[in-house]
Amino acid sequence: MSKNINVALIGNPNTGKTSVFNQLTGLKQKVGNYPGITVEKKEGICKLPRGVKAHILDLPGTYSLNTTSLDESLVVELLLNKNDKDYPDVAVVISDVENLKRNLLLFTQIKDLKIPTILVINMADRMDRKGISLDVPAMEKKLDTKIALVSTRKNTGIDRIKELIADYKNVSSKPLLDPARISPAYFERLKKTFPQNDLYKLWLVITQDVNFMPIEKKRIKDATDFSTKSKDELKKLQHKETVLRYQLINNILKDTYKVDFLAAKGLRASLDKILTHKIFGYLIFFAILLLIFQAIFEWSSYPMDFIDENFALAAEWIKATLPPGVFTDLLAEGIVAGIGGIVIFIPQIAFLFLFISLLEESGYMSRVVFLMDRLMRPFGLSGKSVVPLISGNACAIPAIMATRTIENWKERLITILVTPFTTCSARLPVYLILIALVIPEGSILGLSYQALTLMLLYLIGFGMALFSAMVLNKMLKIKSRSVFMVEMPTYRLPLLKNVVYTVIEKTKSFVWGAGKIILAISIILWFLGSNGYSDDFQNAETIVTERIQNEGLSTYSKNYIQNNIASQRENALAKGIAPNSIEDSLRTLREELTERAVAQEIASYKLEHSYIGQAGKAFEPLVKPLGYDWKIGIAVLTSFAAREVFVGTLATIYSVGSDEEETIKKRMAAELDENGKPLFNLASGISLMLFYAFAMQCMSTLAIVKRETNSWKWPMIQLGFMSVFAYLIALLAYQILI
């Protein structure tokens, strides 16, 4: 075969469509046990028998071809546009064995488009447990198609799908329902007016917001011998079509699909009563979140310390091994320090995605969506808004794209505008390093103060999203009316393979996406911090040496030397070393520490008068009322590229000219303000965390908002409001706590 076979994977939400896609293509796409995962076409290649290749499209989940949202329209537009390069040679409809009746509605519609259509019945491993029996040969005959019985959990039936796709030319494309039965008189007139066009495709062109047929809607409206119907009349006919299709489906399933209703169903109902309870449901969800944040801090502390210390050792090894020079400084102070500032957070990011994946895979996330609908309605949002808001805890970009499942434009726009308030994974490195610096390590009722602080930041972000939604709902004069519907999947043990795929792919995406930006910014920052044009920069060594001779070392350097000497004396005495020997060795240590302190003060002075220091000093008056110095100001500016760049920027700035074998956390903890007090204290730390909780510090998010709203108006309003609001809240917090 000279060309690839185009295959469209289509199905209702939550039927395991993306799992089948992963099995066919080997691509590790996002898989979750709640609706709304796929919001764009995903593509992959599948190798078929006899050397044939199939180009697989994973299309957004849709309940029928009677579209109500943008993601569903994507499916209809492709199926009606034969000129599209992705127009399918064969459609593969994925269904769920427990919801086969509902899934077959979409199957019959696609088959009536005269596209060869294969039916995949997924989750076959649940048939025995649910008392379900299928007569597959009889069902194939009645549906006039080929059927593959599949379990992606058990990895069975995938080869059968490949065989059927390869043999798609022998799959019937004969329609199941005569569209004229919907309204004989209307369809007779339609056939006479447009004799060259397929009736059912014409019907979809008329009723859906698509325009990809050879015949245009304008021609339909302008036809003199054809009277169009009102929207209400067309809705009634669509309802009649649905009734006719379900009559057909019931007749088919009557003899081919049996369910033993004595099979146990009590556990799911009992769990739902508890997990969706109007009081206990929220308490359970809150408790689960607390446990997640506690685990993120407790479990990840050891690998984080290991990574942090080894990056510090790597930088030191580079300086000690390679010859002194620009390239060595670039590696040690720019690249290693910058990337190390992000890699350290891999364990916590991985644990976050692990828990999110477990909640999705188990089916609990759908219960959360249903539960939160009660909370969302007073704020002008639908329950479907919860999916983007929860997805925003991973990343705002796919979360905003997920709003395509929201039919109502007003609710969709409000959701788009408020989603960036939710705490995405890019904020996590900022929160974690600041919490570790300014929040004590104590605990209450077994929960650490640090975990509770992180939990509070998540709640603040979500609360601000709801408050903003309420304000926008009152301000936007857009009439709206919508009905919330969410599918409650059965509870399942999370599939290890899907969980591992999610954790690896999401963590890798975070590291590579952030890493490229951080690497580029780290190199630029290192150059700006290592060079300068002023006389102060060029003569830094002379200026600092003279100042030390006249005024002595800085308070920080003196304390640093005294603390080290006191520690060494205490250790030596504990080992029983003679006092005279101790003083001799301490005298040598004092000389080494003094020499190191002088070098460090020279490096610090050069950094302050470098290009980046000059820029930071110019920017400092704006951020000083928030408790930040010029270094933090630079980090805030660069983090507009991506929030997580904040930590990488500070890691690079603090590493420039540093000979200390210290981790980024230790360097930040050692930073002093102009009064000789720790720069990162409770007031400045809380101010910074609140700034990042509310600020729009992400160019990519702005770009996706522009694309989804088709205007720069909304992202600019979003950027302006969030930036000003974040600044004012951070200012207020610092001034109160200082």
SS3 47: strand
Same domain, 49 and 158: yes
pLDDT at residue 510, as a whole number: 65
Give the three-class secondary structure for 56.
strand
- Does residue 383 share a domain with residue 270? yes
Kindly state whether residues 189 and 282 are assigned to the same domain: no
- Residue 6 parent element (H or E): strand 5-11
Residue carrying the six token digits 């509310």: 694
Tokens coding 338:
């910058």
Contact 150, 158 (CB under 8 A): yes
Regarding whether 507 and 425 lie in a shared domain, the answer is yes
| CB contact set of 715 (below 8 Å; sequence gap of 6+) | 702, 703, 705, 706, 709
Residue range 147-154: average pLDDT?
A: 88
CATH number at residue 127: 3.40.50.300
How far does Cα 295 stand from its chain's mean position? 20
92-96, 283-287, 334-338: range with lowest mean pLDDT: 334-338
**104 and 152 housed in the same domain:** yes
The yes-or-no verdict on residue 349 having pLDDT over 80 is: no
Mean pLDDT value across residues 191-197: 82
Question: Quick check: 32 pLDDT over 60?
Answer: no
Q: Are 183 and 203 in contact (CB under 8 A)?
A: no
> Are 221 and 152 members of one domain?
no
Percent helix, strand, coil in the chain (nearest 5)?
65, 5, 30
The pLDDT value recorded for residue 92 is 95
- Block residue for tokens 């019945």: 121
67 pLDDT higher than 80 = no
Closest CA to 24 of 118, 87, 115, 132: 118
* Structure-token match 């479907």, residue found: 384
Contact predicate 22/29, CB 8 Å: yes
Same domain, 397 and 287: yes
Cα–Cα distance measured from residue 403 to residue 736, given in angstroms and rounded to the nearest whole number: 38
Where residue 532 falls (left for φ over 0; alpha for ψ -120 to 50; beta otherwise) is beta
Whether 239 and 214 have beta carbons less than 8 Å apart is answered as no
Cα 8 from Cα 82, distance rounded (Å): 13
Give the pLDDT confidence of 603-644 residue by residue, as tens digits.
778 878 888 888 888 888 999 999 998 888 888 887 876 777
Give the other-Cβ count within 10 Å of 481's Cβ: 8
Residue 174 has φ and ψ, to the nearest 5°, of -75, 130
Q: Do residues 275 and 248 share a domain?
A: no
Confidence band of 358 (pLDDT split at 50, 70, 90): confident
Query: Do 191 and 199 touch, CB atoms closer than 8 A?
Result: yes
Interior angle at CA 392, CA 477 and CA 704, nearest 5: 65
Q: How far is CA 404 from the centre of its chain?
A: 15
**Total number of domains in the chain:** 4
Do 515 and 645 form a contact (C-beta atoms < 8 A)?
A: no
Q: Which pLDDT band holds residue 394 (cuts at 50, 70, 90)?
A: low
Predicted confidence (pLDDT) per residue in 525-577, tens digit? 778 878 888 888 888 888 888 888 888 887 767 777 887 788 787 877 777 77
341 or 617: which leads in pLDDT = 617
Residue by residue, DSSP assigns 206-237 as: HHSS---SSS-HHHHHH-TT-----HHHHHHH
* CA–CA gap between residue 453 and residue 443 (Å, rounded): 11
- The helix (H) or strand (E) run that includes residue 368 is helix 364-376
Least trusted range by pLDDT, from 117-121, 308-312, 387-391, 436-440: 387-391
Same domain, 599 and 614: no
- Read off the tokens for 104: 């077959």
Domain termination residue (choose one: 144, 170, 196): 170
Nearest to 430 by CA among 595, 576, 624, 647: 647
Contact residues for 425 (Cβ-Cβ < 8 A; gap 6+): 349, 352, 353, 393, 394, 395, 506, 510
**Residue 727 confidence (pLDDT):** 94
Structure tokens at 558: 């003196």
Buried/exposed 161-200: b ≥16 CB within 10 Å, e otherwise: bbebbbbbeebebebbbebbebbeebbeebeebbeebbbb
* CA 156-76-195 angle, 5° bins: 120
**What is the Cα–Cα distance from 96 to 100, expressed in whole angstroms?**
6
Q: Are residues 128 and 233 in the same domain?
A: no
Q: Using one digit for the tens of pLDDT, what is the confidence trace for 475-520?
A: 887 765 555 555 666 777 777 777 887 788 777 776 776 667 667 7
- Whether residue 149 contacts residue 157, with contact meaning beta carbons closer than 8 Å, is answered with yes
User: What sign has the CA pseudo-torsion 331, 334, 339, 341?
Assistant: positive
Q: How many CA atoms lie within 13 A of 614 on its CB side?
A: 12
pLDDT digits (tens, 9 = 90+) for 418-429: 999 988 877 878
Please identify, among 259, 290, 319, the residue that sits at the C-terminal boundary of a domain: 259
Name the domain boundary from 227, 259, 291: 259
Residue 725 reports pLDDT greater than 80: yes
Same domain, 558 and 589: yes
What is the torsional sign of CA 101, 104, 106, 109? negative
Domain that holds residue 156: 5-170
Do 136 and 124 form a contact (C-beta atoms < 8 A)?
no
Confidence of residue 692 (pLDDT cuts 50, 70, 90): very high
Q: Write down the mean pLDDT value for the chain.
A: 80
State the sign of the Cα–Cα–Cα–Cα dihedral 375, 379, 381, 386.
Answer: negative
Taken in order 261, 267, 270, 276, the sign of the CA dihedral is: negative
Using an 8 Å Cβ cutoff, are 408 and 418 in contact? no
Nearest to 416 by CA among 400, 402, 404, 405: 400
Q: What is the pLDDT of residues 96-146, one digit of tens each?
A: 888 889 899 999 999 999 999 999 999 888 887 778 889 999 999 999 999
CA distance 178 to 366: 37
Report residue 26 as tokens.
């080997």
- Position 216 scores a pLDDT of 47
Question: Does residue 736 surpass a pLDDT of 90?
Answer: yes
Quick: pLDDT tens for 290-319.
787 777 767 777 887 788 788 878 888 888
Asked whether residue 469 falls in the same domain as residue 599, the answer is no
Token pair recorded at residue 560: 């640093």
